[in-house]
Structure 1
Amino acid sequence: MAISKIKPRHASEGRSIAAVLKDRIDYDKNPDKTKGGLLVSSYQCGADTAWQEFALSKQIYEAETGRKRAPENDVISYLIIQSFKPGEITPEDANKLGYQLALEFTGGQHQFLVATHVDKKHIHCHIEFNSTTLDCTHKFNNYRNTYQTIRKINDRLCREHGLSVIEQPKEKGKHYAEWANARRGTSWKDKLRRTIDRVLPTVSSYDEFLAAMRREGYEIQTTRKALSFRLASEGQERFTRAKTLGADYTPEAIKERIGQPVKRPRRRAAPLQKNGRVNLLLDIQSRLQGRGPGYERWLKIHNLKEAAKTLNYLTEHNITDYDLLAARTASVSENFEKTATAIKQYEHRMEQIADLKKHIINYAKTRDTYVAYRKASPREKARFRAAHEAELLLHEAAKRAFDEFGEKKLPTVKTLQAEYNDLLAKKKAAYEDYKRLRKENQELQTVKANVDALLRIEQVQEYQQEKENNQEQGR
């Protein structure tokens, strides 16, 4: 189960964009939270130079488009937080899942950094993506209900990786300040919600409801689409729109609830499993410690059902003897491991290509600045470097990457992109096999474990029967 949310990052008045980005990305990469930086990955930017690359893209965007906003209105990056259920995923897999989420959500059009934090009980990813696109011609459009798009992608990725998903997500959570005020009993929303709940059962029409709310001391504003309240007599400054209280407090919902008692939500019982998957047989003896006869009866019924599912699986898949089951289990497990290894190799090469492509682009963008720096006199170099620190760092990082690449002639961006697309297609095809083999491997491993358990039970029963026969003969 993974929960996701998105937060715009604004520039700060009085501070440079680069300084703000550095502070935020440094927090994301905090070594104490990311296993010394091992749980940090990035796309089209270096983890160590991400803030410089983000800042440089803003300068290019402003120069090419002529657009510039006031700091309080200028979104320089976006933060997506992806939180996982404790114990359900490893930090390494969480980082890969965060990378997939960011790549799919941004469509590969924005640089991003993924930092997986393990300092809390729940593993969570900080995904920081640049608001400016890779070509520096426009910015990300944070459309209404963006979080719903993220949630859909996130849920699908979780299902594909065998993680649980919240099937009926709750309404949007409270802001911390609102939550804290509710705890102290000073929340205007909480008070308005309780007042509406108390008034609705006592009135018979919408006009009576509005009149009753005015008697409670509330000022009311009504428009064609909104209904708002304010308790000015107690110091409330702003109106609260009723629809922000929840789905039961929109004008339409209020009209439907008039004259009806308040329905208290019941605690739902955990749903019973109704899937066709084969589960492992449970060891009755080891689980009966301190339990009653009812639990023992449940265990026996559970094991009978799972034994029947195991038999059905063997029949449906024409597995007629144990050696065939063992051989098929080993074969599927081997193919699963091979496919997983191939996907990792594709991903590794894709990361290399993306890194090299990034450096080639950065090198081209900053070449003129670096040439000007080299031509500057010794007296001017220090001042020039201070003014163009971000560009020079990117250029020097690109040159180091080219030296490590080892080839005299670098491939073109077009060639790299073609290879990347080919690897991406291969990875997608391999991933379909990976999902099928993972499911088949899990089923076969469970069936084999169940058969092994059933055979052990049979051996124990035969041994006990033989022991009883020997005792009777000895008498």
Structure 2
Amino acid sequence: MATLKHIASKNSDYSAAETYLVYQHDEFSGKKILDEQSRPKLRESYILDTLECGEASFAMACLLANRKYDKNNHPDDIKSHQYIISFDPRDAAENGLTMEKAQALGLNFCKENFPGHPAIVCTHPDGHNHSGNIHVHIVIGSVRTREVERKPYMQKPRDWREGMKHSSTAQTMRHLRVEVMEMCEGAGLYQIDLLNGSKERVSEAEYWVRRRGQLKLDRENAALTAAGQQPRQKKFETVKDTLRKQISSVLHRATSFEDFSDKLMQQYGIAVKESRGQLSYLPAGRTKFIRAKHLGDNYDKEAVLATLTANAEHKTKVQSKQDTIGKLIDIQSRMTEDKGIGYKRWITKHNLKAMAQTLIFLEEKGLTDEVALDQRITELDTKFHESLAVVKDLETRMADNKTLRRHAAAYTSTKNIAQQLKTANRPAAFEEQHRAELTAYRAAVAYFKANNITKLPSPKKLEAEYAQLASEKAKFYEQYKEAKEELLKLKTAKQNVASFFREEEPAQQER
């Protein structure tokens, strides 16, 4: 799941950005890590390229742009912007993502979205938490050094004119998130919806509080273990972490907002209020409310009310559900477990209730005759398997459609590079430089050849076909689900009737 992060910097030392990307730094203090000779240690692995810098370094290109256009003279001016694209850790193993391919994606992303800005594009193989997520840093100077072609997402002159400064507005971030999602879709990588928020929103500040707190807790636990004592807590939690757990524990049991508010106060001393359509929470011991938007989308008004409504409906359905059929329990086999006379009474009561439910269900369906019951079970069994077969076939066709769309997108985006290879003066060097694009192109061509595809299908036609398949799947899945539910009930009813009469025959003989 690729994510996008933005950092604006007011640091006038442009070389600091490149230094951070090239040398190892302590993740908590931000200071360089030195070797035995007190020299900065290079990162073990990275790929770094510059764009729009000409013969100069990134730092010099930015300084020349500032001087030429008389920009960034004030300490509070934003001197540079950094965008970090972090890929899913699974992409390396499952989707063939390499540092070279990530660097190629980052370079193309920078060219498309930040034209005219001096830029550094650097790929690292791992993140702070050593989860193995390949990520790309894109650092751009804030001043554009040339006028660029206006694109649809550019709304104001500052977005394309020479000498203007880049501005990372909400609209810009939305456009960039869409670009990241489409980039991952085209490259066949894992991706999440970056436009609809996060179920648990963790800010930069909270992330580092977690990391520092966990480090401190680990040290304290190590000291306790060395002293022969058992640590009481192994995972550090921030105030917001604790608040999220407490709200969730109450939310899944409440059925109205009043019930939700009362339970929060009674169990945890948390006050909840609504202001301007937004919820805020006040944990015990605090004087300032925490807004729901700082906790995550699961805790805002819309999500909370939706969960409460669902809880209320579920409770009503459970209370009013009359067609549930329980299975009869074999009293003789269970009584060999020596569970006492009370357990036997419970089984007897359960069996009477299950049998009553069975008779009511069969009468409602008009299936009190054994022949009619067997016939209906046979009909449902056939319908069940036929619907299941259609659903599986549609799922296979949907997967094929998705694969075809991915290869078609890759072929379209890399065809020009494959053509350039034929006329390149240094084919080997060109091949190495565009290895990721050429690999995607050849994979697409091989796929088309293996499937006898001679004409590239229209993306809109493929999307429409996928939507049609999804609609058909939903219809047949509903038939499959209905047949399965009724089939299970009828089989349970038949089994209950047979079990009931098997138990009745010895009882009648004894009487």
Q: Match for residue 146 of structure 1?
A: 199
Q: Match for residue 262 of structure 1?
A: none
Q: 1:302 to 1:188 in 2, by over 3 A?
A: closer
Of 420, 432, 435 in structure 2, the residue corresponding to residue 389 of structure 1 is 435
Structure scoring higher RCO (CA < 8 A, sep ≥ 6) equals 1
Superposed displacement of residue 443, structure 1 = 1.7
Q: 1:72 to 1:366 in 2, by over 3 A?
A: closer
Tell me, in whole angstroms, the C-alpha distance in 2 between the residues paired with 1:435 and 1:298. 33
Matching of residues 299-314 of structure 1 within 5 Å? 299-314=347-362
| Contact in 1 for aligned 2:91/2:190 (Cα 8 Å) | no
Q: 1:177 to 1:449 in 2, by over 3 A?
A: farther
Q: Match for residue 129 of structure 1?
A: 190
| Contact in 2 for aligned 1:22/1:51 (Cα 8 Å) | no
2:287 maps to a residue whose letter is: P
Of 89, 92, 99 in structure 2, the residue corresponding to residue 24 of structure 1 is 89
Q: 1:50 to 1:428 in 2, by over 3 A?
A: farther
Question: Given the alignment of the two structures, is residue 368 of structure 1 paired with residue 416 of structure 2, yes or no?
Answer: yes
Question: Given the alignment of the two structures, is residue 450 of structure 1 paired with residue 496 of structure 2, yes or no?
Answer: yes
Q: 1:364 to 1:455 in 2, by over 3 A?
A: same
Q: Match for residue 378 of structure 2?
A: 330
1:358 maps to a residue whose letter is: R
1:395 maps to a residue whose letter is: Y
Superposed displacement of residue 440, structure 1 = 1.7
Of 467, 470, 488 in structure 2, the residue corresponding to residue 421 of structure 1 is 467
1:440 maps to a residue whose letter is: E
Superposed displacement of residue 423, structure 1 = 1.1
Tell me, in whole angstroms, the C-alpha distance in 1 between the residues paired with 2:421 and 2:90. 28
Task: Report SS of the residue matched to 2:190.
Answer: strand
Alpha-carbon deviations, 1:10-40, whole Å to 9, x = none? Answer: 799453599x9789225664xxxxxxxxxxx
Alpha-carbon deviations, 1:443-463, whole Å to 9, x = none? Answer: 22222221222232234445x
Tell me, in whole angstroms, the C-alpha distance in 1 between the residues paired with 2:492 and 2:100. 50
Of 164, 177, 192 in structure 1, the residue corresponding to residue 214 of structure 2 is 177
Q: 1:434 to 1:250 in 2, by over 3 A?
A: farther
Of 325, 346, 368 in structure 1, the residue corresponding to residue 394 of structure 2 is 346
2:465 maps to a residue whose letter is: E
Tell me, in whole angstroms, the C-alpha distance in 1 between the residues paired with 2:489 and 2:285. 47
Tell me, in whole angstroms, the C-alpha distance in 1 between the residues paired with 2:21 and 2:98. 21
| Contact in 2 for aligned 1:53/1:394 (Cα 8 Å) | no
Tell me, in whole angstroms, the C-alpha distance in 1 between the residues paired with 2:332 and 2:466. 55
Of 442, 452, 460 in structure 2, the residue corresponding to residue 406 of structure 1 is 452
Superposed displacement of residue 310, structure 1 = 0.4
Of 48, 61, 77 in structure 1, the residue corresponding to residue 109 of structure 2 is 61
| Contact in 2 for aligned 1:319/1:325 (Cα 8 Å) | yes
Q: 1:369 to 1:70 in 2, by over 3 A?
A: closer
| Contact in 2 for aligned 1:362/1:395 (Cα 8 Å) | yes
Of 327, 339, 344 in structure 2, the residue corresponding to residue 280 of structure 1 is 327
Task: Report SS of the residue matched to 2:328.
Answer: coil
Q: TM-score, normalised by structure 2?
A: 0.48
Q: Match for residue 431 of structure 1?
A: 477
1:388 maps to a residue whose letter is: H
Q: 1:330 to 1:53 in 2, by over 3 A?
A: farther
CA RMSD of aligned residues (A): 4.7
Q: 1:189 to 1:341 in 2, by over 3 A?
A: closer
Task: Report SS of the residue matched to 1:428.
Answer: helix
Alpha-carbon deviations, 1:213-251, whole Å to 9, x = none? Answer: xxxxxxxxxxxxxxxxxxxxxxxxxxxxxx99x844553
Q: Match for residue 403 of structure 2?
A: 355
Alpha-carbon deviations, 1:276-295, whole Å to 9, x = none? Answer: 31121112222221312111
Matching of residues 207-286 of structure 1 within 5 Å? 247-251=283-287, 275-276=321-322, 277-286=324-333
Tell me, in whole angstroms, the C-alpha distance in 2 between the residues paired with 1:343 and 1:392. 36
Tell me, in whole angstroms, the C-alpha distance in 1 between the residues paired with 2:237 and 2:362. 62
Superposed displacement of residue 252, structure 1 = 7.5
Superposed displacement of residue 398, structure 1 = 0.2
Task: Report SS of the residue matched to 2:329.
Answer: coil
Superposed displacement of residue 381, structure 1 = 2.5
Tell me, in whole angstroms, the C-alpha distance in 1 between the residues paired with 2:482 and 2:98. 37
Superposed displacement of residue 354, structure 1 = 1.3
Q: Match for residue 131 of structure 2?
A: none
| Contact in 2 for aligned 1:335/1:437 (Cα 8 Å) | yes
Tell me, in whole angstroms, the C-alpha distance in 1 between the residues paired with 2:380 and 2:123. 55
Matching of residues 37-186 of structure 1 within 5 Å? 47-48=95-96, 57-66=105-114, 129-130=190-191, 140-141=194-195, 143=197, 145-147=198-200, 177=214, 183-184=231-232
| Contact in 1 for aligned 2:2/2:181 (Cα 8 Å) | no
Tell me, in whole angstroms, the C-alpha distance in 2 between the residues paired with 1:51 and 1:449. 60
| Contact in 1 for aligned 2:414/2:440 (Cα 8 Å) | yes
Q: 1:188 to 1:353 in 2, by over 3 A?
A: closer
Task: Report SS of the residue matched to 2:325.
Answer: coil
2:467 maps to a residue whose letter is: N
Q: 1:403 to 1:60 in 2, by over 3 A?
A: same
Q: Match for residue 297 of structure 1?
A: 345
Task: Report SS of the residue matched to 2:338.
Answer: coil
Q: 1:301 to 1:112 in 2, by over 3 A?
A: farther
Q: TM-score, normalised by structure 1?
A: 0.51
Alpha-carbon deviations, 1:398-456, whole Å to 9, x = none? Answer: 01100111143343323322222221221122233233223222222222221222232
| Contact in 1 for aligned 2:99/2:123 (Cα 8 Å) | no
Task: Report SS of the residue matched to 1:130.
Answer: coil
Moved more, 56-65 or 391-400: 56-65
Superposed displacement of residue 54, structure 1 = 6.7
Q: Identity of aligned pairs, percent?
A: 25
Q: 1:316 to 1:185 in 2, by over 3 A?
A: closer
Q: 1:446 to 1:10 in 2, by over 3 A?
A: farther
Task: Report SS of the residue matched to 1:251.
Answer: coil
Superposed displacement of residue 362, structure 1 = 0.7
Tell me, in whole angstroms, the C-alpha distance in 1 between the residues paired with 2:457 and 2:182. 23
| Contact in 1 for aligned 2:355/2:496 (Cα 8 Å) | yes
Tell me, in whole angstroms, the C-alpha distance in 2 between the residues paired with 1:65 and 1:111. 12
Q: Match for residue 320 of structure 1?
A: 368
| Contact in 2 for aligned 1:353/1:416 (Cα 8 Å) | yes
Superposed displacement of residue 339, structure 1 = 1.2
Tell me, in whole angstroms, the C-alpha distance in 1 between the residues paired with 2:386 and 2:478. 14
- Structure 2 unaligned regions, length at least 5: 7-19, 23-45, 50-84, 128-177, 202-209, 222-230, 243-279, 291-314
| Contact in 2 for aligned 1:10/1:72 (Cα 8 Å) | no
| Contact in 2 for aligned 1:110/1:129 (Cα 8 Å) | no
Moved more, 308-317 or 276-285: 276-285
